[in-house]
Amino acid sequence: MAQHPPVGELASWGTGLAQGLAGYGGQGFSLRGEKDRFVLPPKLRNTIAERSGQRVLCIGVHEKWPCLTGFGKEREEDFARILDREEKRRTDLGQEFDRAAYMLNLWDFEEAPFDASGRFVLPAVSGQLGGIGNALYFQGAGDYITIWNPETLLAQTDPVFAGPQARCRAEMANAKGKGK
């Protein structure tokens, strides 16, 4: 999987949570369906639509984990503030901050419009960078959504992934039980 330069903790993106807007919570599983589409789970797609006023999933590569990230278009409005905050944080810690590399990471995403039912086509480059096959697992992570190849998520050994792994297994079993 291609990796971006280490440019900071993107988990601190956005002001949405600080302003009292709902963060991205919940999870879901989707198999690639007809017309090569996946389905964004209702709770996540509703949050995107409410926060940004658009049905567009922005998809980038997570800087630390072997997965993709997803968020709504409203995050673009926060990019300058995010850059300033990360620069200050790094400077306060006596660390070097490469603003250009951080900007590249923030703006390196593709847009995937989705319909009212959450169906969207994963852009080919995002799918390749995320090692995505015929299934996706979505996990809300507050300021963004993580989007996983389920096999990649289940292979993680860090205990932080225990909850998402258990939910992913349950979602996969549920989908298999429905014959999807």
H/E stretch holding 137 = strand 135-140
Phi, psi of 64 (to 5 degrees): -115, -40
Question: Burial, 149: exposed, middle or buried (Cβ in 10 Å; 0-12, 13-18, 19+)?
Answer: buried
Tokens of 9: 């903790």
pLDDT in tens, 90-149: 999 999 999 999 889 888 999 999 999 999 999 999 999 999 999 999 999 988 999 999
Decide if pLDDT at 158 tops 90: yes
- Can you give the residue ranges of every domain in the chain? 10-177
Type of residue numbered 73: K
What is 10-177's CATH number?
A: 3.40.1550.20
The separation between the first and the last C-alpha atoms of the chain, rounded to the nearest angstrom, is 28
pLDDT in tens, 12-62: 333 334 344 558 999 999 999 999 999 999 999 999 999 999 999 999 999
Distance CA(23)–CA(41), nearest Å, equals 14
Q: Which pLDDT does position 28 carry in this prediction?
A: 95
Phi, psi of 7 (to 5 degrees): -125, 20
Q: What's the number of CA atoms in the CB half-sphere (13 Å) around residue 148?
A: 26
Q: Which pLDDT does position 7 carry in this prediction?
A: 34
